[in-house]
Amino acid sequence: MNHFTGRIFDRLGQNIIILGLLVGVFYTDLITPLGFAHGILYLPVVIFAVLRARVGDGFHKAVLALAVVGVIVGYFSAPNATDLPEFYIISNRLLSVAILLLSYAYCRKLRVLAQQNVEISKLEQAQRQTLENFIDAMPIQVWLADPSGVVDYTSRSLADFAGKSRETILADWLALIHPDDIENTLATWQRSVQTGELYHVDFRIQRHDGEYIWHQTQAIPQRDDNGQIQRWIGSSSDIDDLLRFREESERLAMQFRHTVESITDAFFTLDHDFRFTYLNHKAAEALGSSIEELLGNVIWEKCGIGYQSAFAMQYRKAAQTQSKLHFEEFYSPADKWLEVHIYPSPDGLTIYFSDITEQREKRERLLLLNTAVSRLNDIIIITEAEPLNEPGPRILYVNDAFEAVTGYSSAEVIGKSPRLLQGPKTDRQELQRIKEALQQRQSVRAQLINYTKSGKEYWLEMEIVPLIDNDGHCTHLVSVERDITERMEMEQRLRESQKLEAVGHLTGGVAHDFNNLLTVIMGNSEMLADQIVDPEQRAMAEMTVSAARRGAELTSRLLAFARRQPLDPKPTDLNHQVTSMKPLIRRTLSENIELEFVPDPQLGITEIDAGELDTALLNLVVNARDAMQYGGKLTIETANTVLDRHYASHHPEVVPGEYVMICVSDTGVGMGNETVHRAFEPFFTTKDVGKGSGLGLSMVFGFTKQSGGHVNIYSEIGEGTSVKLYFPKAKSAPRLVVPAKTKTPLLGGNEHILIAEDDDLVLQHLENQLHLLGYRVTAVISGPDALEALKAHDDIDLLLTDIIMPGGMNGRELADQARVAYPLLKVLFTSGYSENAIIHHGRLDPGVALLSKPYTRLELATKVRRVLDKDVQDDEKNA
């Protein structure tokens, strides 16, 4: 009631204002001298009344009428205070009336149009509301988007479905979509927006309870007359039940397909006369004709299946025996392999066939691949991908190499974990690294110790590759493994060889310094022993000489192991050498040890240092004796042998070729693998303290290697030991030289000898010894000093020089430069460590004379005299 009263008073107020304005204009018209010109002032009042006043048409007409009357009355009532003609004033009044009438008509039309627009707007709003109500009532979600793809409207049904407000959905509609579907959905939508193509995609939308429901979404572009997209109109419908129904239908269809598989490929039927009664398009296509041309005709008259073909014979056989047949045959007209099924029926034959050309090719490739993999030397193991923890993935396939290496058959391991091959020495840290890599779906390489069925260890190098499917899931693990036991053993032997080489360098250097000291000790002790009269003091001096000799023997063994012992190889018959040593060997052995020598009568000749061989053989005999404390048998054998490339492949230091072998075997306690591996190490011994230096086998090893040979130990605990020494066989048959063993007297002379020695003690000792032998001596401490001495003395007969000296010039360089200036100068080298200055490949260079430290007075005197008399001896030989 209040609202209605307000509207009445509002209209009444507007009417009073309009009437007041009319009166005001009329009054001003009367009192204005130019009143005729005020008629146009009625126009705003009329326009306001028509356009704004909330009254009916009668009031509008009344206002117009009052305005016209006011113009006319004003003409008659207002005085003419101007000199204008009457005609001009009347025309002005009439023009004002015309303008009022025209303006009224125009404003009336505008008002009508405005009212119509309002009506249309209300109608559109009502229709839009109706459409929204209709859309909201629909079971699908409707949405709109602008041309750029931004969604700006969604129906209430989507908000109700998602349990979120429309504003939230419009702000981030992708938040409703399943994370796995966002990428494809967004890519498809962007492609449609860019190309203007219809938008169609399936994705899952999260329902208000959190469950994702499959929806089918599509959108079409709304275009203007120019083909430009104005908006996108889209909808999403719930297809979750449909998909489930489809999945169920597909499952049922799959079952049904297994039942009716006979008609899924080429299918036809024949009557008793072998005429076509039915065939599908695939059958007609495969037979190279059309359904119309084949129906009613005999099969071998209208297609490539001839009467005598394998197909026709099988059809007739099936008809005669009334038994179903199945076969594969090549159909040459189509160049395809076909799999054919024939079923007799009361009406004739039902036949279907399928093209298996590709399957046969795949089957043949698979058979070829399987054959190739099974024949590989590398082990192939295929397992499941899980579990990586205990008990481990199950084995699905192994090849023949697996059975050959491990001793397990495929039937024994299929379904079990590869961990059955692991054992105590399998590296657990390496297994953990493999596991971590596989957890990251990464390939991994590793080396491990595994165990065969019999428990034997073997090294393998493996690469495990995860197989990833199209969805990014790991389905299987493929392990390619190679038995590298032999390679690892070779590497171990190489490392041991390198270790021995390093120790050899160290021991060689120690022996050099020790030999210098022993040279002085041995020489002075011998002199004291000869000059002292007191028996007790003489015995002490002789004891010092004996100790020095034992030290010299120790350093000799060290140098032999280090392969720095200077060798003077000569053609040697091992049979003769062993025979000459038999008495010494017999005395070395106890009475409860039997000695047997088994020589090869056709034994070849080798070039070695016979004296060093005697020492090496004696060391082996002593070791064998100590291994047979309670008696046994010692056997020494010689033989010709060939170390071929196969043997050399397992022993990298061996050069393939012909060798002369000497073997020392005992029936003692034997050695384990660990002891055998360390047997050649210097100072390693299994004997009690004080019963062995640990250098015997080291010396044998060094001497054999320096002679270009090879040594091998075979031993078993409780069975004994065999040590075989292999020396290269001489390619020709050189003349054997057997030196006569005679006692050499202590000889001196009066020649002039130049000594070059950097060790002060050795230099003083050597100078003193040569003086006692009657020689004239000049002593210097370096090579440059020696060259100066040669210039100062023109009567020097012999240069006695140490090989290793400071001052930038060694003994060999000194001798070479001295002989250039003094060609007749004789040279005698001395050294406790030969290096490579005068020894190459383990042998003294031709024509080189060497006095090895430490040496006795007799050895010094003999060697010096021999070098000084060399030309005389050569002349006597030539004569």
Confidence of residue 281 (pLDDT cuts 50, 70, 90): confident
Confidence of residue 714 (pLDDT cuts 50, 70, 90): confident
Please name which of 299, 302, 305, 308 lies closest in space to residue 272, comparing C-alpha atoms.
Answer: 299
Average model confidence (pLDDT) across the chain: 76
Strand partners, 640: 660
At residue 563, the pLDDT reads 46
CATH class of the domain whose range is 752-878: alpha beta
Confidence of residue 517 (pLDDT cuts 50, 70, 90): low
Determine the average pLDDT of the residues in 435-442.
Answer: 81
At residue 495, the pLDDT reads 64
> 260-360: what fold?
Beta-Lactamase (3.30.450)
Confidence of residue 180 (pLDDT cuts 50, 70, 90): very high
Most confident range, picked from 439-448, 492-501, 670-679, 786-795: 786-795
At residue 879, the pLDDT reads 35
Domain 567-728 annotated CATH 3.30.565.10: yes
Q: Which two tokens stand for residue 589?
A: 């052995």
Most confident range, picked from 188-192, 343-347, 382-386, 716-720: 188-192
Determine the average pLDDT of the residues in 163-171.
Answer: 86
pLDDT over 70 at 179, yes or no: yes
> How many angstroms separate the CA atoms of 148 and 232, rounded?
9
Please name which of 641, 601, 649, 569 lies closest in space to residue 846, comparing C-alpha atoms.
Answer: 569
CATH class of the domain whose range is 139-240: alpha beta
Least confident residue range of 280-284, 322-326, 793-797, 824-828: 280-284
Q: Which two tokens stand for residue 285?
A: 């296509």
pLDDT over 80 at 549, yes or no: no
At residue 753, the pLDDT reads 92
Please name which of 812, 837, 849, 834 lies closest in space to residue 563, comparing C-alpha atoms.
Answer: 834
Confidence of residue 171 (pLDDT cuts 50, 70, 90): confident
> 348 versus 609: which is more confidently predicted?
348
Q: Which two tokens stand for residue 313?
A: 């014979």
Determine the average pLDDT of the residues in 347-357.
Answer: 79
* CATH superfamily placement of domain 376-483: PAS domain (3.30.450.20)
At residue 775, the pLDDT reads 92
Confidence of residue 869 (pLDDT cuts 50, 70, 90): confident
Torsion region of 472: left, alpha or beta (phi above 0 gives left; psi -120 to 50 gives alpha): left
> 350 versus 528: which is more confidently predicted?
350
Task: Find out whether 516 and 853 touch, Cβ atoms under 8 Å.
Answer: yes
At residue 876, the pLDDT reads 40
Determine the average pLDDT of the residues in 433-462.
Answer: 82
Three-state SS for 418?
helix
Task: Find out whether 467 and 438 touch, Cβ atoms under 8 Å.
Answer: no
CA distances from 756 to 658, 748, 834, 854 (A): 44, 20, 16, 16
Task: Find out whether 508 and 564 touch, Cβ atoms under 8 Å.
Answer: yes
pLDDT over 80 at 368, yes or no: no
Helices (H), ranges, 322-462: 357-375, 400-406, 410-413, 428-439
Cα-based angle 533, 534, 540 (whole degrees, multiple of 5): 110
C-beta atoms surrounding 74 within 10 Å: 23
- Written as one string, the DSSP assignment of 339-372 is EEEEEEETTEEEEEEEE-HHHHHHHHHHHHHHHH
pLDDT over 70 at 377, yes or no: no
825 alpha-carbon distance from chain centroid: 67
Determine the average pLDDT of the residues in 221-238.
Answer: 86
At residue 875, the pLDDT reads 40
Please name which of 643, 656, 626 lies closest in space to residue 724, comparing C-alpha atoms.
Answer: 643
pTM for the full predicted model: 0.35
- State in Å, rounded, how far the first CA of the chain is from the last one: 166
pLDDT over 50 at 550, yes or no: yes
Determine the average pLDDT of the residues in 345-360.
Answer: 79
Burial class (CB in 10 A: 0-12, 13-18, 19+), 424: exposed
Confidence of residue 18 (pLDDT cuts 50, 70, 90): confident
Determine the average pLDDT of the residues in 418-423.
Answer: 82
pLDDT over 50 at 503, yes or no: yes
pLDDT over 80 at 79, yes or no: no
At residue 392, the pLDDT reads 82
**Does 139-240 match 260-360 in CATH topology?**
yes
Task: Find out whether 266 and 352 touch, Cβ atoms under 8 Å.
Answer: yes
pLDDT over 60 at 589, yes or no: yes
Domain boundaries, the chain: 2-116, 139-240, 260-360, 376-483, 567-728, 752-878
Most confident range, picked from 70-79, 294-303, 366-375: 294-303
pLDDT over 80 at 524, yes or no: no
Task: Find out whether 679 and 702 touch, Cβ atoms under 8 Å.
Answer: no
Least confident residue range of 37-46, 244-253, 412-421: 37-46
pLDDT over 70 at 553, yes or no: no
34-52 tens-digit pLDDT: 544 566 777 777 777 776 6
pLDDT over 60 at 266, yes or no: yes
At residue 9, the pLDDT reads 47
Least confident residue range of 55-69, 350-364, 541-555, 570-584: 541-555
> How many angstroms separate the CA atoms of 144 and 221, rounded?
10
